[in-house]
A and B are shown apart, each in its own frame.
Chain A
């Protein structure tokens, strides 16, 4: 049985912030509950107040504001995995969301909760690094914006007392246009090929002890931007998880990919570098031998997926904008 706590069930963010003033002791925000509830049940967490954010409509939103994709922190993994907008504009996030836990877990677990739980193996976390996501954090001292990368590693930049993650956003565009066919104004410095938009693709992969309902032994997310003519990589972000206390970017490898084509020789070189990263991250660990082999398969999955997307992208770019797949809603809850 859980220890006693008081509970607040606000209907809006404004009401949540007002309630904070009257709360003493430890405050725990509750999203889907898939981590917090069992932690309270076995006594690992004993907050004085539990504030349920799961029925605040403005926090469950998934939308495109013309420039960035914005997700409320209580968007569930089921909503994210099923969103045509996310599939189109941040595919690696949709892929990761679809591989978190089971159907039951995905129906409750939230993106904000995955960030706050900060598991070394959290599936959305390398994705947020690969998409260079930013967080909006609200609390007694007001609002602050911070990159997810700084949020997770810099001392003092994580959640402070009473703070909640309100939203997560990232630049639109695996494909340079929106799901409804509107053109996304691309950053002019990104490409120069006579008005053709750059090719942007992303992918997520994970290895666990079974195919689903599994905690990642390794997970990886990759984002690539290529100029549309020769398919030269102009920008990339690569992140690995489950190799330390938190997932991390591989900036050296990203730099080495720049200026090259996404071909088999690139994948061979990147795979070697990934094995070195494993050796450097967990030297002497019992899992090192396994993970330095397993990462070859993970790299083959993720980069194979990227290659596949690029070939589809090249084929479809001559046929005008893609109108989005068979998935349902474009925007949720806004």
Chain B
């Protein structure tokens, strides 16, 4: 079945099996391996990408459900090689350890900042509630999003 959609600003026309998930097509047909498969059932958020600027679990979406839509992956955050402010903040705040959850974290945070450029701490926590990280304990991730949004406070972040 032919699938027409836009990925990171580029129109794509692909031959895609009905049973392929969006995650499979991004990783295996387009070589965009930023989105990761973690749990495969919508718990961990490692596969998070944007569809029409909304964060979705790409492991739960059939690829053909993205027909006509615009998909953004973590690769789309730095199209010319220059890092997005969020990516820069994740590096500076030490919000990355093993890195497996990072693309999903970045995309959930990106969806939030697109909708709400100056989120509260609570809004950031809710936006990232569907992204699990087993290394960092979340505090530095929260700081990084606050830093990118320019809402970082000098005080301590509430413990998770």
Which residues in A have some Cβ–Cβ distance to B below 8 Å? Answer: 1-7, 9, 30, 32-34, 37-38, 40-41, 50, 52, 54-55, 78, 101-105, 107-108, 211-213
Contact = CB atoms under 8 A, between A and B. Distances in A.
14 contacts: A1-B19, A32-B60, A33-B61, A37-B21, A37-B60, A52-B64, A55-B68, A102-B42, A102-B130, A103-B55, A103-B126, A103-B127, A108-B57, A213-B129
Contacts of B62: 7, 30, 33, 37, 50, 52
A108 B56 contact: yes
A30 B65 contact: yes
B19 A34 contact: no
Given A38-B40, A212-B129, A104 B18 contact: no
A78 B126 CA distance: 13
Contacts of B51: 107
A52 B139 CA distance: 39
Given A33-B61, A54-B65, A104-B60, 15 more contacts: A3-B19, A5-B19, A7-B62, A9-B67, A30-B62, A32-B60, A33-B65, A34-B60, A37-B21, A41-B21, A41-B59, A78-B54, A103-B108, A103-B127, A104-B45
Given A50-B18, A212-B126, A104 B55 contact: yes
B33 to A, nearest CB: 18
Contacts of A32: 60
Contacts of A3: 19
Interface string B30-70: 00000000001111010010010011110111101101100
A103 B64 contact: no
A102 B64 CA distance: 23
A33 B60 contact: yes
Contacts of A6: 18
B111 interface: yes
Nearest to A38: B41
A50 to B, nearest CB: 7
A93 to B, nearest CB: 19
A213 B128 CA distance: 10
B114 interface: no
Given A34-B42, A38-B42, A102 B129 contact: yes
B1 interface: yes
Nearest to B127: A103
